[in-house]
Structure 1
Amino acid sequence: MYPADPLLKPTRLLDFDHPSIARLITNRGWKELAQHEQIGAVYGFVRNEIAFGYNHADDIPASRVLADGYGQCNTKGTLLMALLRGVGVRCRLHGFTIHKALQRGVVPEIVYPIAPGEILHSWVEAETEEGWVNLEGFILDESFLGALQAAFSGAETLCGYGAGTNCLTAPPVDWTGGDTYIQKTGIARDFGTFDAPDEFYRDHRQAFGILRDWLYRKVIRHWMNTRVRAIRSGRVPHIPGLDLVNHRHEENQDAA
């Protein structure tokens, strides 16, 4: 018997009753933790043990994200929500779009001009003992984010390479009981909250078009994942314009 509370129920996408997810929760002992530690353990797992990367679609079940071992904002969010509900933490989805500029550097330059101007985005809202918190800082794994911080050493503002932040040197990505963010400054439109990702993707779809959708699934996302792996290993591609903030910082330091 599942709880009647819509913010605790499993759905097609939030399939925390799937054997792989149920086994993970049991093996990690997350149900035995206090709520603050539960959220932190689940959040840390999704942030760093599920690498940043691009799945074949946004609307895939949490069990598929877990099996893939990687994901982006929407798919990692689905897994985070499933795990939170699986340990009894109420949660919901907040839907947005982000400007495509945030993905520049990850999207190959040759296809960047044909990418949609806005990209479907979401974060997770979880209910804690202190109230609701926004969780978005789980998107970029620590190694990937660290590579960006090293490449743009000393810079604070970055909109590109999967990051949208004004505090790159110390973004609020660690779980401390409050909001976490890593793509917030790229937000374009706010769609509000949804009980589950199933409802969000029923009402909002990424506007690729048939050809671009096929190209994304079969070619472009694999290209993007190759670039993500390169960035994670420290090979951050030079994109004209995106390194200006770092150059300006260095110039200011020299002038001082």
Structure 2
Amino acid sequence: MIQTDPLLAPTRLLDFESPAIAALLEARGWKALPPDARIGAIYDFVRNEIAFGYNRADDIPASQVLVDGFGQCNTKGTLLMALLRGTGIRCRLHGFTIHKALQRGVVPELVYPVAPAEILHSWIEVETGDTWIDLEGFILDAPYLTALQRAFSDSDSLCGYGAGTECLNSPPVEWTGASTYIQKTGIARDLGTFETPDQFYDVHRQAFGQLRDWLYRHIVRHWMNARVRRIRDGRLPLKPGTARHRHEGDAHAA
């Protein structure tokens, strides 16, 4: 019996054999690239062609993230893993929690006080050569990150609006063959490594509770996505405690 490498195998969430993902892999021709270029091309696709935004849940299949066309750390990570495995690149998930302050400015202020203190987070570890590197810098698409850099050009430290970095103006987010990060300074707890996102979500779930989960899926995430679009357009809602900047007129935006 043929044994499948567990770090290359498809799963319910890593459904790279689904028609949508199989068609994408064929159209992009990534499998024909050398491994380093293959990782970079897939990373750039997930970073910039899948916009930063909030899906209905963390544990949705990669094919659904592709259809949505947007995602956050966990969902974009699932898609990244599926595309990497679908082209023969070994990868795994590293789970964490992040402090909710990292999401302030995106989460509406009406909701922020009742949000969980820690939010489920993950990055992807990919094997390249004889080493493993961390990939987290794909979370924020370039237009969104540029909007943050313009708004906070006077500071290199930011924890909010979906970013957690001490080098905002030149964060390590471009693929160079080394680790990439954009939310690292917001990390609260290390939950360890997992072969698949399926295993991760079997053990760890966001602590919303039934009512808050329903509100998130049907109302709150739509508010958050509207805020993300405004931020990407350069209209930042001001989060409490942030020094005023040129977008202060939007301080009371929903």
Bigger CA drift: 235-244 or 219-228?
Answer: 235-244
Q: Deviations over 1:50-93 (max 9, x none)?
A: 00000000000000000000000000000000000000000000
Q: Does 1:129 align with 2:137?
A: no
Q: Quote the Cα distance in structure 1 between the aligned partners of 2:51 and 2:184.
A: 19
Q: Quote the Cα distance in structure 2 between the aligned partners of 1:17 and 1:93.
A: 19
Q: 3-state DSSP class of the match of 2:155?
A: coil
State the AA in 1 paired with 2:120.
L
Query: What is the TM-score normalised by the length of structure 1?
Result: 0.94
* Matches for 1:1-256 after TM superposition, within 5 Å: 4-243=4-243
Residues 154 and 169 in structure 1, CA contact (< 8 A), matched pair in contact too = no
Gaps of 5+ in 2: 247-254
Task: Give the match for residue 249 of structure 2.
Answer: none
Q: Cα distance, 1:103 vs. partner?
A: 0.1
Q: Cα distance, 1:130 vs. partner?
A: 4.3
Q: Quote the Cα distance in structure 1 between the aligned partners of 2:242 and 2:80.
A: 30
Q: Cα distance, 1:13 vs. partner?
A: 0.1
Q: Quote the Cα distance in structure 1 between the aligned partners of 2:242 and 2:138.
A: 23
Task: Give the match for residue 251 of structure 2.
Answer: none
Q: Deviations over 1:106-158 (max 9, x none)?
A: 00001100000000000000000141000000000000000000000131100
Q: 3-state DSSP class of the match of 1:65?
A: helix
Q: Quote the Cα distance in structure 2 between the aligned partners of 1:30 and 1:175.
A: 15
State the AA in 1 paired with 2:28.
R
Q: Deviations over 1:191-243 (max 9, x none)?
A: 10000000000000000011100000000000000000000000011122133
Q: Quote the Cα distance in structure 2 between the aligned partners of 1:2 and 1:101.
A: 47
Alignment coverage as a number of residue pairs: 246
Q: Quote the Cα distance in structure 2 between the aligned partners of 1:2 and 1:196.
A: 20
Q: Quote the Cα distance in structure 1 between the aligned partners of 2:3 and 2:82.
A: 14
Query: What is the TM-score normalised by the length of structure 2?
Result: 0.95
